[in-house]
Amino acid sequence: MRRFTRRSFVGGAALAPLAFSPAGRALADLSRLGGGEHRLRLVYTNDFHSAFDPIPGYWLPGSPKLGGAAHFATLVERERAAAATSFLVDSGDMFTGTLSLLTKGEALVEMMIAMGYDAMGVGNHEFDYGWQNFEAQQSRAAFPILCANVRYRQAEGLRPIRFCRPHAILERNGVRIGVVSVMGARAAKYTIMPSKIDGLEFVDPVAEAAAQVALLRPAVDVVVVLGHQGLPGPMQTDAENDPSVQRPIDEDLDFCGAIPGIDVYIAAHSHHGIEVPIVHPQTGTILVQSYGYGTRVGVLDLEVRDGRVTRHRGELKKVWSDELPPHPAVAERLAYYRHKLKDEIGPDLGKATARFIRRYNTESPLGSFVTDVMRERAGSDVAITNAGGLRADLPEGGLHRGHVLDALPFINSLVTLELTGNDLRRAIAHGLSLAAGCCQVSGIVARYDPKRPPEERLIELRVGDKLVEAERTYRVSTNSFLAEGGDRYESFLNGRRVAEDALLSDCVLDHLRRVGTITPPAAGRLVTI
């Protein structure tokens, strides 16, 4: 592939053609229809989450492999080459995962440069290593990183200063697209650890986006908004095959209905795969999103006449990694980082007798294992972690540090609180509401009715073999994100912090070194009635 870097944020040449599908050949022949008429292709991604390696599609016949950065990049390149005019954009959450953690996001930015991204919106996980680190990574990127509604927090009376560019205008082959990005209020408030964004503030995304769209509309052919908002995506490897864990996109639809003039809205955060684009009934905005993790490449073909989209066609294309050759430039970068970090990842420390899978709306073998490790290490009565903090299954067989960091990639430490029985009940009830996935627990048995209203599902809660007493104090271990009220576990804010230990990943690594072989725990902690 001809390396495509954008030292300026406007202009640039299209990628050299590599392969043509019949549809792509038609687009290539008619990029510009004449006058104010254009055809273009948007290739889009979201929520990649540092998914550098293919994952086994164990829910599909034959368990084929899906995704993997180098195979993902090959499909992206093919889809871009099949159109005379194309743009590649992402709606955020590139970061997380082993290579992301160990390079503080650098490996992801380098991958995006190699792939020739034209623009990126900001996701909540770009702040995992603190806003100062993300600020430094922005300066590395050869493409604009956008978010219209984030500011540096200023003293009262001072003019606010933007943390990111609010928009970019991209031009290729006479086609101009305006790109805006926003992060939703709920995503900013509940899915970023407050200490990681101390010094920043997120303002109204609707007002900010509306102003940017109004500014861009007269100057461009197409307006694209990259939106990172709504409920967080389900952290479950086979989520696309499990309708029960799919997240709604109400916040995205409301946003599109509130702002006229948006041609395309590329959603993120909920991982809600939209196989056929949705057209908003009031504004006509075309809404799309992939499932994330690099298992799909989104393709949206547009026909534009005098600044208005007259026809569109879109789909999500599976990344069959067994069939796609690795992209040379991306594979080279991955090899570089793997070699550089091989001593930090190290050899196998133990092994798993079976795959430790994660589930988003129920207890899971991985969640039970991690909370058992937390409770044992802290000597606490109860341990609770969030399903959203479990980012990959632990595979069967040998386990090294990279496997554990993929599963537990966040800089979250083990925190122990003294919590009343009332506040413990509130925490478990919130977990069973599934607002941010099901709580993962150790040391308790909760009986609940999933058919009741979300906050009323908890019927009975026992610590050990005894019913929880409302005023009694319990030692509860959790992670530092939840201890700060993350994922709306607000009852943890009432607890008294009595201990803080190592990162959760280090706790699991120490356990693995000590015991050698691990077996998935038995189920029965969260019991439906």
Give average pLDDT by consecutive 10-residue segment, the chain, 529 residues: 30 30 35 68 97 94 96 98 98 95 97 98 97 95 97 86 97 97 95 94 97 97 98 93 93 98 98 97 98 97 94 98 98 97 95 96 97 98 97 96 96 97 98 95 97 94 96 98 95 97 98 98 96
- Last residue of some domain: 337, 365, 394? 337
pLDDT the model gives residue 160: 84
> Are 299 and 362 in a shared domain?
no
149-184 pLDDT, tens digit each: 999 998 777 888 999 999 999 999 999 999 999 999
pLDDT at 1: 33
Does any domain span residue 408?
Answer: yes
Triad 154, 156, 158: Cα angle to 5°: 60
- Whether residue 354 sits in one domain with residue 318: no
Nearest to 511 by CA among 500, 502, 498: 502
Looking at the domain assignment, is residue 12 inside a domain?
no
Domain-ending residue, one of 312, 337, 362: 337
376 domain residue, yes or no:
yes
User: DSSP string of 451-485?
Assistant: TS-GGG-EEEEEETTEEPPTT-EEEEEEEHHHHTT
* 72 and 132 belong to one structural domain: yes
Can you give the pLDDT at residue 178? 98
Q: Give how many domains the chain has, as a whole number.
A: 2
Domain-embedded: residue 352: yes
286, 389: one domain: no
Q: What angle do CA 27, 266, 20 make, to 5 degrees?
A: 25
- Residue 448 forms beta bridges with which residues? 458, 528
Same domain (yes/no): 386, 265: no
**Are 324 and 351 part of one and the same domain?**
no
CB-side exposure of 276: number of CA atoms within 13 Å? 0
CA-to-CA distance for 22 and 3, rounded, in angstroms?
25
CATH number at residue 294: 3.60.21.10
301 shares its domain with 401: no
Q: 357 and 301 in one domain?
A: no
For residue 241, the tally of other CB atoms under 10 A from its CB is: 12
Q: Does residue 351 share a domain with residue 307?
A: no
At 19 the pLDDT is: 28
Secondary structure (DSSP) of 10-35: S--PPPPP----HHHHHHHHTSEEET
Is 18 within a domain? no
Q: Supply the CATH number for residue 446's domain.
A: 3.90.780.10
Same domain for 328 and 353, yes or no, is no
pTM: 0.89
From 337, 365, 387, the end of a domain falls on 337
Indicate if 268 and 367 belong to the same structural domain. Answer: no
Note whether residue 318 is domain-resident. Answer: yes
Residue numbers of the domain that contains 43: 27-337
Q: In this structure, are residues 120 and 180 in contact, taking their beta carbons and an 8 Å threshold? A: no
Confirm if 463 and 382 have CB atoms less than 8 A apart: yes
Q: Under DSSP, is residue 166 helix (H, G, I), strand (E, B) or coil?
A: coil
Query: What is the distance in angstroms between the CA of the first residue and the CA of the last residue of the chain?
Result: 57
Buried residues in 314-342 as b, exposed as e (16+ CB within 10 A): bbbebbbbeebebbebbbebbeebeeebe
**Which of 277, 275, 312, 279 shows the shortest CA–CA distance to 296?**
275
Domain identity same for 65 and 156: yes
